[in-house]
């Protein structure tokens, strides 16, 4: 039983398992990039009739937060951790000052070499020199053998941190025109997009994208900030990032009999809106002014 457990642990820590897991993780990343994420379930069933149920069943519509993707990350973290633990004993042994590999039988000594000059040269180049039974041994940068373990540990922390962050965080995409507001009821404030503008290089290329926003808390406190690419805006535990810009269309759904407007809002190209009362899915392919 102990032997089987040991074999299973070594298999789980093997390079083959790591490669398979990396391929699967890479596949999920590709799917999450190609397949539109966080759309209504009805849209996937309509857009992909043959694969819609499979997409929803495997949570590919939320690929980066799906249980399968999280499990793959956890398994890869376990693989790295076990690989590090199994190799750490030998690496720690190599770090000790007393460790030196055995001389091979085909190695030869040097005749007529001044030992004092050898010692002086090695010490000058910061080798740690030891002598035993007339044999001079020198070593430096012993801790370099721990590089792989430190790298594995760092990758494991990144994966686990990403997985925990994905499971504990939430994400929402909002579309605003200058002057539009969005209410965050739970956090107790209202966000207004005051203006959006771009700056340009002398050759006409876009230099930067800017969004000027104002937040008003429930207690009346007002804060105005500008955010741009790689400079998000944070308020009351929420982070705001510029994700996209472009044309936004005004969507209005009216009752065909009474003419009453039953739904109204903004929709961007490539996005969907699912109207639950009538099981109506609207997808805006594009707008060409």
Is 219 inside a domain boundary? yes
253 and 275 both lie in a single domain: yes
Is 113 inside a domain boundary? no
79 versus 98: the higher-pLDDT residue is: 79
* CA triple 189-37-281, angle to 5 deg: 90
156 and 43 both lie in a single domain: yes
The closest of 236, 268, 221 to 249, measured between CA atoms, is 268
Is 76 inside a domain boundary? yes
Which domain-ending residue is among 140, 168, 196? 168
pLDDT value of residue 66:
84
To which residue do tokens 């050759």 refer? 203
Q: How many residues does the chain have?
A: 289
Quote the tokens at residue 260. 């009453």
CB count in 10 Å sphere of residue 139: 15
* CA triple 107-110-111, angle to 5 deg: 140
187 and 254 both lie in a single domain: no
Q: In the predicted model, what is the mean pLDDT of residues 210-234?
A: 93
30 and 78 both lie in a single domain: yes
Is 204 inside a domain boundary? yes
CB neighbour list of residue 181: distance below 8 Å, 6 or more residues apart: 190, 191, 192, 193
Q: In the predicted model, what is the mean pLDDT of residues 125-151?
A: 76
31 and 82 both lie in a single domain: yes
Is 207 inside a domain boundary? yes
19 and 84 both lie in a single domain: yes
16 and 152 both lie in a single domain: yes
221 versus 6: the higher-pLDDT residue is: 221
The closest of 177, 218, 174 to 194, measured between CA atoms, is 177
Is 134 inside a domain boundary? no
Which domain-ending residue is among 168, 196, 230? 168
191 and 50 both lie in a single domain: no
pLDDT value of residue 221:
92
Q: Rounded to an integer, what distance in angstroms lies between the CA atom of residue 83 and that of residue 194?
A: 53
pLDDT value of residue 189:
94
Q: What is the pLDDT of residues 1-44, one digit of tens each?
A: 667 788 888 888 888 998 999 999 998 888 888 888 777 777 78
What are phi and psi for residue 94, nearest 5 degrees? -70, -20
Is 128 inside a domain boundary? no
CB count in 10 Å sphere of residue 211: 21
The count of structural domains within the chain is 3
Q: Rounded to an integer, what distance in angstroms lies between the CA atom of residue 4 and that of residue 226?
A: 60
Q: In the predicted model, what is the mean pLDDT of residues 176-190?
A: 90
Q: Please, what is the average pLDDT of the chain?
A: 82
Quote the tokens at residue 13. 């820590």
Domain around 271: 248-283
76 and 34 both lie in a single domain: yes
Q: Rounded to an integer, what distance in angstroms lies between the CA atom of residue 237 and that of residue 102?
A: 59
Is 141 inside a domain boundary? no
Q: What is the pLDDT of residues 116-136, one digit of tens each?
A: 777 788 777 778 877 777 677
Residue 194: pLDDT band with limits 50, 70, 90 = very high
208 and 154 both lie in a single domain: no
49 and 159 both lie in a single domain: yes
219 and 262 both lie in a single domain: no
pLDDT value of residue 88:
76
Q: Which residues pair with 146 in a beta bridge?
A: none
pLDDT value of residue 74:
85
The closest of 21, 13, 25 to 78, measured between CA atoms, is 13
């Amino acid at each position: 039983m102990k032997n089987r457990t040991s074999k299973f642990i070594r298999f789980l820590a093997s390079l083959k398992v790591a490669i398979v897991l990396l391929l699967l993780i890479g596949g999920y990343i590709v799917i999450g990039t190609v397949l539109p994420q966080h759309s209504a379930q009805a849209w996937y069933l309509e857009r992909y009739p043959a694969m819609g149920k499979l997409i929803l069943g495997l949570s590919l519509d939320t690929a980066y937060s799906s249980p399968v993707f999280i499990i793959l990350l956890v398994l890869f973290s376990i693989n790295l951790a076990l690989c590090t633990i199994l190799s750490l004993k030998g690496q720690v042994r190599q770090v000790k000052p007393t460790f030196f590999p055995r001389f091979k039988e085909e190695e030869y000594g040097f005749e007529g070499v001044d030992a004092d000059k050898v010692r002086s040269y090695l010490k000058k180049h910061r080798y740690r020199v030891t002598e035993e039974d007339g044999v001079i041994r020198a070593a430096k940068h012993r801790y370099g053998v721990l590089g792989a373990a430190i790298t594995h540990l760092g990758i494991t922390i990144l994966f686990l941190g990403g997985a925990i962050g994905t499971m504990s965080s939430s994400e929402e995409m909002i579309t605003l025109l200058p002057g539009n507001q969005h209410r965050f009821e739970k956090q107790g404030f209202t966000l207004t997009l005051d203006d959006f503008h771009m700056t340009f290089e002398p050759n006409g290329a876009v230099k930067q994208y800017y969004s000027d926003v104002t937040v008003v808390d429930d207690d009346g406190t007002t804060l105005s900030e500008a955010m741009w690419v790689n400079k998000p805006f944070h308020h009351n535990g929420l982070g705001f990032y510029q994700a996209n810009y472009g044309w936004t269309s005004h969507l209005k759904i009216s009752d065909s009999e009474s003419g009453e407007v039953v739904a109204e809002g903004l929709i961007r190209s490539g996005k969907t809106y699912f109207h639950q009362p009538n099981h109506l899915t609207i997808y805006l392919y594009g707008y060409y002014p």
